Structure 1
């Protein structure tokens, strides 16, 4: 028996994540595999594909999960080393459930699981994780039926071929592309996906190493982009790409070494889809720039705003029949990729746009950079009570300047007399209060950030 507190500390809003040997171990993961198998069997499913990243703990945890699933009658197809979108490809093409062992951008001591149903459909708190939590707390009942089977399948080549069918890069102008894999799974997938294309790849940190010896695999943090920014300029690259640990996110750097806003990437990919499929729906989360819905509307599309998090975005993609979805955290979702997110597929769209015209990346993207933004700023607070109290303090301080308040995810405050806005929300995965600010100028952004953080961190 496990306490509900210990289980919910690891099973978050849309995945499983914790410190190996402290919050999760092989026994916990084995039981989680058993509980997931029970859930899948109750829905008539009989197979799960399992993949894992390059962390030292990942193969053993994946094996433990497989043991739990097999004991509960679920067949296991082990695809071995994979990016998270490689696992989604397996789930989509094999038409089976999936379990990806990764802690994404978290430090080396962490690991976790991203779970999905067949067709890469998400398993979140309201769509299965709560049931798994109950089983782990109450004890997973023994299964007296026939045990499942174990098989192995190498899907890397098929995954690369599939992506190249979705975005044809064979006829673009030659590009020099600097890629920082951060010792993560991008070093595994990029060589295969870009093989034979008119791309000269300049690799940085392609060696698979779950200890992340060069920098954390979290390009959302500016410090982790510095090496790529320098590398782009040193190599004379046309573009730089930075992947997180499991390569489901991709950040872009222009030829000058300057970061390209993920919202600008959302906008240009949305524009490409709306050229191909006029009048379509595009999803964006609530912390993307206002430029994203503006571009969608200007190109005849329908913008649908949603809360932050991959399970929420994927559900909205399906509910609205959307062709594309984007988050400011650099997760990008594609209808023809099972409504799932893929960092490298987003990169391929940017490469196709860049290589299909003659402007440098900085000039091509300028039209999508309409506002200044703070990026996501995190404040560690003691508990949910403290987060709620500080959030209310911010609302009180801005009461006389507030045009509207939206509570879709945290609080989004539109300010009176200006396009400026800010969002304050609790993290779904860490004990953090997150702040995002956007305004017409960097000076306005800086002033708002200083005032709001002064209240949150008081």
Structure 2
């Protein structure tokens, strides 16, 4: 197995490559050490960093996580391992469990041959997602040069398996436990980890959940878990009509993007979802800022203006849009790709 690291796997918003040609047990070991070194230098801590470790359900993930965990422990990290998880649950864990930073081993919505790493740090309850403008180049250089920091003592792991229950309870608290109608909902997470959050969420909802492709299977036998490719939504749209359901839900491979189907079987534009959420929020909190990427202004601009908000337009990319949110202290943001962000949850 070639342990030489391909520098092209360090992308604009994550680390991502084909397993095992580009990302394998040897390379992720070094990359995890590079990320640890970046965190220690960036956060300037006088103690061992507290890191979240989580991962998706791809077939290569167990082997990669084993080596990442080993590297972090050798470096001296105190790890809170939340297990198989979505990326939003990973970000939530950083602040909810008072951790400094963390890694999510996942290749999101990409085909089964891929795997990768998303990573972020927490400062004062604000999550910074690492991308090209927030530290990715530094991590790449540290890793390629193997200029690693070790704290001289072995770290430790504690496991927390309550993240989805905690995340759902936090979401209900933020929206003040609203009364929700008994809806019939069809959901298709594409055999990916979005199923785990949906299971936890619908335990708390008075709704009928009709499940499609809920069994975690990193081979993605039904379809690639990428709802931005509308051909992956064909079966879900049909099922919504067959069941006479009120709504269809399709999260992506790591659960950080989501598309909705209406009762007519039509895909709802992401810009319309952003506009609807902005309307609801601005009615309670007028004059707040709403962030959109340059592709997502349709529908949103009119809603923000009507309900007394301030529209902020930013470049494309979830790391960029969340940095803009922090800078502007915005209430909410939405991307054309189906990413949505709330101030309270980073």
User: Does the alignment reach a TM-score above 0.5?
Assistant: yes
Structure 1 match to 2:33: 34
Q: Is the 8 A contact 2:18 2:115 kept in 1?
A: yes
Q: State how far apart, in whole Å, the 2-side matches of 1:225 and 1:169 are.
A: 31
1:171-200 per-residue CA deviation (whole Å, 9 max, x = no partner) reads 222111111111111211111112132211
User: Contact 1:72/1:147 (CA < 8 Å) preserved in 2?
Assistant: yes
Worse overlay, 154-163 or 166-175:
166-175
CA offsets per residue over residues 331-358 of structure 1, 9 Å max, x none?
00000112xxxxxxxxxxxxxxxxxxxx
The structure-2 alpha-carbon separation of the partners of 1:144 and 1:86, relative to structure 1 and needing over 3 Å to count, comes to: closer
Q: Which of 173, 176, 188 is matched with 1:180 structurally? A: 188
TM-score (norm 2): 0.93
Partner of 2:147: 140
- 8 Å Cα contact 1:36/1:69 also seen in 2: no
Residues 70-114 of structure 1 deviation map (CA, whole Å, 9 limit, x = unaligned):
222221111101111111111121222121111111010101111
Q: CA deviation at 1:2?
A: 7.8
- 1:131 aligned onto 2:138: yes
Structure 1's unaligned 5+ residue stretches are 339-458
Residue 77 of structure 2 corresponds to which residue in structure 1?
74
1:267-346 equivalent positions in 2, closer than 5 A:
267-338=275-346
Given that 2:249 and 2:258 are in contact with CA atoms closer than 8 Å, whether structure 1 keeps it comes out as yes
Q: 1:65 to 1:236 in 2, by over 3 A?
A: same
In 1, are the aligned partners of 2:33 and 2:143 still within 8 Å (CA)? no
Q: Distance in 2 between matches of 1:68 and 1:310?
A: 27
Runs of 4+ with >6 A deviation: 1-4
Unmatched segments (≥5 aa) in structure 2: none
Give the counterpart of 1:216 among 200, 208, 224. 224
Bigger shift: residues 190-199 or 321-330: 190-199
Say how many residue pairs are matched.
Answer: 336
**Residue aligned with 1:288, SS:** coil
Distance in 1, Cα, partners of 2:151 & 2:199: 45
Q: Considering only CA atoms, is the larger Rg found in Structure 1 or Structure 2?
A: 1
- Offset, 1:159: 1.6
Please tell me whether residue 58 in structure 1 is matched to residue 61 in structure 2: yes
Shift in Å, 1:170: 5.1
Tell me, yes or no, if the aligned pair for 2:120 and 2:130 is still in contact at 8 Å.
yes
Q: Could you tell me the TM-score, scaled by structure 1's length?
A: 0.71
Secondary structure at 2:301 match in 1: helix
1:90 matched to 2:93? The reply is yes
User: How many angstroms apart in 2 are the aligned matches of 1:67 and 1:239?
Assistant: 43
How far 1:143 moved relative to its partner? 2.7
Corresponding position: 1:233 with 2:251: no
**Structure 2 matches for 1:291-440, cutoff 5 A?**
291-338=299-346
The DSSP-based 3-state class of the residue aligned with 1:126 is coil
| Shift, 1:147, TM fit | 2.3
Query: What does residue 200 of structure 1 align with?
Result: 208
